[in-house]
Chains A and B, each alone.
Chain A
């Protein structure tokens, strides 16, 4: 629908967009506060209505209706709006931690580390993106692969230690339910690893005998016992999600964020 532009026209478009955004901003500020909520509700409703109508409206031979051409520009617009959220997030994070550093609150050193990490990865990322050369690539990899990737993986791996401790303490034969849980967990764990599967490797993996191989028992528990229960949970979640979506679309949601004065 929209063609990309370059050169002076692009700058003209950017300036035009900034000017229009400024006007919209001041108009919204000028609106009395009692009218802001209905306005937000109206915009939310129209935005949601577009996608619902586009989905349900009959399509022609080309698989499109009169609303379909707007899908691409709206998708791009959503991406731009989401990019603003990133800036807002950085601003919010920076304001909290700058205050901590300025007032030297307890743990303010960690805030300094946060800024060092934030600027290091952002700066090296920009340099790699806009000044690509071997040095900038290596510096970025030093922070990304050597730093972020390793730290992230390490933090998540720590969960394994808690899982071992929790499994050791929780899986005890205390009641019938606990015993069923323990037995099924035991079999599924055995069926998950090559060494466990090797315990029943001598049983033929064909016909009736295959039912006694540990990986098949584990798979049976996962697909025939676990799956129906999960489907039931998912169905409940789906209904709940539909109700929540309708409430959001029609601006009926109440509670934190929704009842505050705009």
Chain B
């Protein structure tokens, strides 16, 4: 009984050590993990990108890949960026990296593009562009101005070249020339797109908007999926794992699946052990009182 009672108060250093082992062990000694179940929001994300690629009019338009995150959430956001960019490049879609929430976003988006561009024969300027970073407080005004004139609202790319001189921006004027908006974020930056750009195109349909938040932020977006304001969502690292399965690619997300599973199971096991300890302590107290 004494051992069980002690389970309710395990030293926190032991917990930290167990987590470190649970997270790092699968990377050092890869262990097989079952394929993940693909959730409806991930499937609809994938189908939206596929639909844009299959449409002869929309596939010539531009996808905004909004990288509004910093290195702090790179385990989730950078992995999402890689898997989504891979899909865009695989389907030969034109895209623009953009960031208005964190200056690191433009660098991190470019980092992934540099890593993947040779694999898919992509070339900066011809197939994609980096619009760079704009200050957060100017985001609303910039996005409002983008509705009618993107080259004027953004001005220059991350290298200082005027957008009108970049081949991929040829024929790209305003909201009507956007194929989709993909927001990858670790903060509350999605509303800017939904409020000021999504429904400003000439067509009756809104610009397809896809969302890649961190896992803790995902629950806030479920109402937006239900209302049709979002056409798909990748939930943190788990969403990236599902997306890699859909793309039939085994990248970092798939390798991290075991790590994610083990750390979650560790938390669940600790919760069970803690409660066992609490029950044992209560039983011991009752017996002590009865005597």
Chain A residues near B (Cβ < 8 Å): 4, 51, 63-64, 68, 71-72, 74-76, 78-79, 81-83, 85-86, 129, 144-145, 148-153, 155-157, 160-161, 163-165, 167-169, 171-174, 182, 186, 189-190, 192-198, 201, 205, 213, 215, 219, 222-223, 226-227, 230-231, 234
Contacts and interface: CB of A to CB of B under 8 A. Distances in A.
A190 B269 CA distance: 11
Interface residues of B, number: 71
Given A72-B153, A75-B144, A152-B72, A196 B270 contact: no
Interface string B229-262: 0000001001001000000000000000110111
B39 A219 contact: yes
Given A82-B138, A168-B15, A168-B271, A153 B71 contact: yes
A155 B72 contact: yes
B115 to A, nearest CB: 11
B223 A234 contact: yes
Contacts of B170: none
Contacts of B267: 163-164, 167-168, 189
A246 to B, nearest CB: 17
A82 B133 CA distance: 12
A213 B37 contact: yes
Question: Does more than half of chain B's interface fall in helix, strand or loop, or is it mixed?
Answer: helix
Contacts of B135: 79, 82-83, 85-86
A86 B133 CA distance: 13
Contacts of A215: 37, 39
B192 interface: no
Nearest to B38: A215
Contacts of B44: none
Contacts of A192: 215, 235, 238, 260, 264
Given A161-B15, A168-B271, A174-B278, 19 more contacts: A51-B144, A72-B152, A149-B104, A152-B70, A153-B71, A153-B72, A161-B19, A163-B267, A168-B273, A193-B238, A193-B261, A193-B264, A194-B257, A195-B34, A195-B262, A196-B264, A222-B218, A222-B219, A234-B220
A165 B138 contact: no
Q: 7 tightest CB-CB pairs across the interface, nearest first?
A: A82-B135, A195-B261, A156-B72, A152-B71, A75-B145, A75-B141, A149-B71
B32 to A, nearest CB: 10
Nearest to B278: A172
Contact of A75 (B138, B162, B266, B275): B138
B35 interface: yes
Nearest to A200: B37
A95 to B, nearest CB: 22
B117 interface: no
B16 A193 contact: no
B37 A75 contact: no
Given A71-B145, A85-B137, A172 B274 contact: yes
A42 B33 CA distance: 63
Contacts of B134: 79
Contacts of B51: none
Given A68-B148, A153-B75, A213-B37, A164 B138 contact: no
Contacts of B258: 195
Given A153-B75, A227-B223, A82 B137 contact: yes
B73 A186 contact: no
B43 interface: no
Given A144-B107, A164-B15, A197-B37, A171 B271 contact: yes
18 contacts: A72-B145, A74-B141, A75-B142, A75-B153, A79-B135, A81-B138, A164-B16, A168-B10, A168-B271, A171-B275, A192-B215, A192-B260, A193-B257, A193-B264, A194-B260, A197-B37, A222-B222, A227-B222
A167 B271 contact: yes
A156 to B, nearest CB: 4
Given A157-B75, A161-B19, A198 B34 contact: yes
B260 A193 contact: yes
Contacts of B226: 223, 227
A165 B15 CA distance: 7
Nearest to A149: B71
B12 interface: yes
B283 interface: no
Contacts of A151: 71
A71 B147 CA distance: 10
